[in-house]
Amino acid sequence: MCGIVGYIGEREAYPIVLEGLKRLEYRGYDSAGIALYDGQDIKLSKTKGKVMDLEARVDQEIETNGTVGIGHTRWATHGVPNDVNSHPHYSNSGDLVIIHNGIIENYESLKQELIKRGYIFKSDTDTEVLINLIEDVKKNENVKLGKAVQIALNQVIGAYAIAVFDKNKPNEIVVAKLGSPLAIGIGENEFFIASDATPFLEYTKKAIYLEDEEMAIVRRKKGVKIRKIKNDSLVAPYIQELQMNLEQIVKGGYEHFMLKEIYEQPHAIKDTYRGRLRAKQGIIKMSGIDDNIEKFLNANRIIVIACGTSWHAGLVAEYIFEDLARIPVEVEYASEFRYRNPIITEKDVVIAISQSGETADTLAAIKLAKSKGAFVFGVCNVVGSSIARETHAGAYTHAGPEIGVASTKAFTTQITVLTLIALKLAKEKGSISNSKFHLHLQELELIPSKVEQALKSDPHIKIVAETYKEAKNCLYLGRGFNFPVALEGALKLKEISYIHAEGYPAAEMKHGPIALIDEHMPVFVIATKKGHYEKVVSNIQEIKSRKGKIIGIVTEGDTDVKNLADHIIEVPETLEILTPLLTTIPLQLLSYHIAVLLDKNVDQPRNLAKSVTVE
């Protein structure tokens, strides 16, 4: 996730901004940049790579005196990571400069308008569109910077935290927020701007956290004036006294990155469908699919290749694609696929799923599929990653950086992207009725709030975790769309708590694993109301009669499983194909709490790496 930093005051801005960028490195980034005002002009230095690389570049490129500056660490969303796409971005005149965290959804139409008016764009970013829109408004409406920012933002659809500086108004920085975080540190005659308080903690403990749809003009000496972006009304600043230490702020107040990322899922899922899903109009817009629609519609079959958690998302996709779009799907471990001389033809479409976009086995499998003439579509989280570059087309998940080694928000956002694709193909093929299509779109839009609801069971899940933390083995069962969730639940437990766990299709239990069941075996059963409910209840009875401990993941208000189970954890009701997006949540939390109770290194489990770039 991008990080933004700014300073305006009486000290030299450069060391404060640079140090601030280093503090924000934990957010994950691929490039960094800085803009400093030297008393006459805005000097800019930026680079793909690390803040360290930026530092070396600044030393050679620009003077570092001046008491106003803004800096940015970029995590690419529009345009690959490179020097040009890095922030800050100038406006065409060079008078204005911007840093931006977020996504401007309607940037393409705004860009076309600006091009018609003579604007030239150097980068592929949505951010350069925004700064030129601000410049255009400022000139045409003859207004000051703050007003221009406000008018421009009212034309923008998307999410942002921005800081804008005008060399003709060197005593102020204009900031605004919608969806992405922005904090203003209040010092004595000096102000700090940042994505969170870490960059300014040693200078001040007083901070204002902007709310969504608020903007602020931060004036040297004069202070901070906050307004609503929509109706221009003034907002009384609420200054908080910060109690947290550095470590707590980096993790957003959570004890671990994994927990933070679990809780980020409502937001991350929304970011995944932002700009793609228009439920009211009944539209799904995905350029990677739109541009290649014939390839998908004429495909003999879809082959999904992935590893680990991404492979589990692929298995969910198999159920969804076949159910909705009626296209045959095969799901392959990339590591097996690449070495087993698979039959691939030009009529096959391959979907490669990878959070990091760097997994060596998946990359090799893609190259093999391409060499046989298949069309390869990537579903990645990291923009500009090797897999994103190696595939013919793709769709990013936009989950933001995942730092905890155990994948959480990557999984749910991958499923979200794949569901969008399946629905789109189903609509194109006519394999879904209009009413069913609309219903699915509406329900998908409700998922973030339902995930939020599911997260509310956290205190109860902690109690369940306490009960089963000493288990030596655990079984996870699910059917249909939730069979892959059972696999994912078991994987999460294994990798962070080192407890042996197996995921199984519930009905397969009688073909072997049932022999394992005794009073020491916790069995986590996904038994939501929709999807083979009665059959799963019968499976639960089989476990019960062998004295197994049953923890049911059930639909809100369930009574049948409740009467049989030792514990239940409720999730909100949704359409059957969307249930994995909800049932996953308690299983992630459960693994997390068990690992914490066992005092394991949750964010960096032993023997595991976030990016598996070796075979």
Say which amino acid occupies 474: C
* Given the residues 2, 307, 380, 474, the one annotated as active site: 2
Q: CA-CA distance, 503 to 479, in Å (whole number)? A: 11
Tokens of 380: 């990645």
Q: Measured from the CB of residue 334, what is the shortest distance to ligand F6R in angstroms?
A: 8
Strand-strand pairing, 223-228 and 214-219:
antiparallel
Residue nearest to ligand F6R (CB): 308
Q: Is the dihedral of CA 503, 509, 514, 520 positive or negative?
A: positive
Q: CA-CA distance, 190 to 7, in Å (whole number)? A: 8
Comparing CB distances to ligand F6R, the nearer of 356 and 412 is 356
Comparing CB distances to ligand F6R, the nearer of 101 and 413 is 413
Q: Measured from the CB of residue 356, what is the shortest distance to ligand F6R in angstroms?
A: 3
474 given a catalytic annotation = no
Comparing CB distances to ligand F6R, the nearer of 44 and 307 is 307
Q: Measured from the CB of residue 543, what is the shortest distance to ligand F6R in angstroms?
A: 26
Comparing CB distances to ligand F6R, the nearer of 125 and 407 is 407
Q: If you search the block for the tokens 């660490």, which residue do you land on?
A: 73
Q: What is the DSSP letter of 518?
A: S
Strand-strand pairing, 549-555 and 522-527:
parallel
Tokens of 214: 């608020």
Q: Measured from the CB of residue 574, what is the shortest distance to ligand F6R in angstroms?
A: 24
Those residues with Cβ within 8 angstroms of residue 429's Cβ, 6 or more apart along the chain or in another chain = 297, 325, 326, 327
Q: Are 497 and 522 in contact (CB under 8 A)?
A: no
Q: CA-CA distance, 605 to 594, in Å (whole number)? A: 13
Q: CA-CA distance, 258 to 274, in Å (whole number)? A: 23
Q: Measured from the CB of residue 323, what is the shortest distance to ligand F6R in angstroms?
A: 24
Q: Measured from the CB of residue 365, what is the shortest distance to ligand F6R in angstroms?
A: 11
Q: Are 299 and 327 in contact (CB under 8 A)?
A: yes
Tokens of 484: 């892959």
Q: If you search the block for the tokens 């690390």, which residue do you land on?
A: 50
The site for ligand F6R (CB under 6 A) is made up of 307-310, 354-356, 359, 362, 406-407, 491, 495, 612
Q: Are 608 and 601 in contact (CB under 8 A)?
A: no
Comparing CB distances to ligand F6R, the nearer of 125 and 310 is 310
Q: Measured from the CB of residue 412, what is the shortest distance to ligand F6R in angstroms?
A: 12
CA 28 to chain centre: 12
Comparing CB distances to ligand F6R, the nearer of 359 and 419 is 359
Q: Measured from the CB of residue 255, what is the shortest distance to ligand F6R in angstroms?
A: 18
* Given the residues 228, 469, 535, 610, the one annotated as active site: 610
> Which contiguous run of DSSP H or E holds residue 17?
helix 13-23
Q: Are 506 and 536 in contact (CB under 8 A)?
A: yes
Q: What is the DSSP letter of 229?
A: T
Q: What number of H helices and E strands is found in the chain? A: 21, 27
SS3 call for 285: coil
Strand-strand pairing, 283-284 and 223-228:
unpaired
Q: Measured from the CB of residue 313, what is the shortest distance to ligand F6R in angstroms?
A: 8
Comparing CB distances to ligand F6R, the nearer of 561 and 602 is 602
Q: Measured from the CB of residue 63, what is the shortest distance to ligand F6R in angstroms?
A: 41
Q: What is the DSSP letter of 600?
A: -
Q: Are 373 and 345 in contact (CB under 8 A)?
A: yes
307 given a catalytic annotation = no
Q: CA-CA distance, 473 to 55, in Å (whole number)? A: 50
Tokens of 142: 């003859």
Comparing CB distances to ligand F6R, the nearer of 397 and 579 is 397
Comparing CB distances to ligand F6R, the nearer of 309 and 391 is 309
- Phi and psi torsions of 28, nearest 5°: 90, 135
Comparing CB distances to ligand F6R, the nearer of 427 and 492 is 492
Comparing CB distances to ligand F6R, the nearer of 129 and 258 is 258
Those residues with Cβ within 8 angstroms of residue 424's Cβ, 6 or more apart along the chain or in another chain = 284, 286, 289
Those residues with Cβ within 8 angstroms of residue 158's Cβ, 6 or more apart along the chain or in another chain = 102, 103, 104, 105, 106, 107, 126, 178, 179, 274, 275
Please give the angle made by the CA atoms of 63, 69 and 72, to the nearest 5 degrees.
Answer: 105
**41 burial type by CB count under 10 A (0-12 exposed, 13-18 middle, 19+ buried):** middle
Q: CA-CA distance, 247 to 5, in Å (whole number)? A: 18
Q: Measured from the CB of residue 385, what is the shortest distance to ligand F6R in angstroms?
A: 9
- Among all residues, which ones are annotated catalytic? 2, 610
